[in-house]
């Protein structure tokens, strides 16, 4: 049996199946990137729900795996050279799983780097900007009388959607015919912006054509549908 005792996080969230990849997450736009990816590639894994509302990411056990205190994070008992490895940062995990399985990341070097550029576009731009719209429109920031911060992030989110709209004008997926980790990284954030954040009107989502069609295609994938609900909330 695989021994994961070197990872303190397993003391708080014990592995029932230590030979499987361990996922520590919550179905947020960042969290579902990894659960969708795991469902798509078919690797056996064991999900552990991390309750960010109860500040569980700031416990010593979780911080031992991700010093930044954010979900998602993983332990792969069968890492490089067959040794267990712990990873955090959703983009890094997507790249790791893609390279481990040879799926959803092109093998052609030019295509590979272009895919990674779009993954980093999500990480550096779409995630942070859409998240700020959520804060200022849906959460505590909505009570602020000064709407200039909200309007700044709304304007930038509209611009980013325009970038994505232009990219998808002549292709089904961000990289063309092939569905990749660039799509997996981005789907949950667009879905959250117009769904949970209820910001569709703010960012003029109805004026877009290609982004909504791409989102519909992505959400129709069975693995995406499953991944959006993992780990299941109590």
Per residue in 168-210, pLDDT tens?
999 999 999 999 999 999 999 999 999 999 999 999 999 999 9
Confidence of residue 1 (pLDDT cuts 50, 70, 90): low
Burial track 216-230 (b if 16+ CB lie within 10 A, e otherwise):
ebbeebebbeebbeb
- Residues contacting residue 177 through CB under 8 Å, at least 6 positions apart: 171
Residue 74 binned pLDDT confidence (cut-offs 50, 70, 90): very high
- Residues 119-161 have pLDDT tens digits of 999 999 999 999 999 999 999 999 999 999 999 999 999 999 9
- What is the rounded CA–CA span in Å between residue 162 and residue 180? 20
SS3 state at 15: coil
Q: Please choose, from the candidates 108, 127, 120, 109, the residue with its C-alpha nearest in 3D space to the C-alpha of residue 181.
A: 120
The tens digit of pLDDT for each residue in 21-40 reads 999 999 999 999 999 999 99
Length of the chain, in residues: 234
């Amino acid at each position: 049996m695989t021994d994961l005792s070197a990872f303190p996080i397993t003391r708080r969230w014990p592995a029932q199946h230590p030979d499987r990849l361990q996922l520590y997450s919550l179905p947020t736009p960042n969290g579902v990137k990894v659960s969708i990816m795991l469902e798509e590639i078919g690797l056996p894994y064991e999900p552990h729900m991390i309750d960010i509302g109860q500040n569980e990411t700031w416990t010593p056990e979780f911080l031992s795996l991700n010093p930044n205190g954010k979900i998602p994070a993983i332990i792969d008992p069968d890492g490089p050279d067959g040794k267990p490895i712990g990873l955090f940062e959703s983009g890094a995990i997507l790249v790791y799983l893609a390279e481990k399985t040879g799926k959803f990341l092109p093998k052609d070097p030019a295509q590979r780097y272009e895919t990674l550029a779009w993954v980093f576009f999500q990480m550096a731009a779409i995630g942070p900007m859409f998240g700020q719209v959520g804060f200022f429109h849906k959460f505590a920031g909505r009570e602020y009388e000064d709407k200039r911060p909200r309007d700044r992030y709304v304007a930038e989110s509209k611009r980013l959607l325009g970038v994505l709209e232009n990219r998808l004008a002549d292709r089904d997926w961000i990289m063309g015919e092939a569905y990749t980790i660039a799509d997996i990284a981005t789907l949950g954030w667009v879905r959250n912006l117009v769904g949970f954040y209820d910001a569709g009107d703010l960012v003029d989502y109805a004026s877009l054509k290609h982004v909504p069609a791409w989102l519909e295609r992505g959400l129709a994938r069975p693995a995406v549908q499953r991944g959006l609900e993992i780990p299941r909330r109590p």
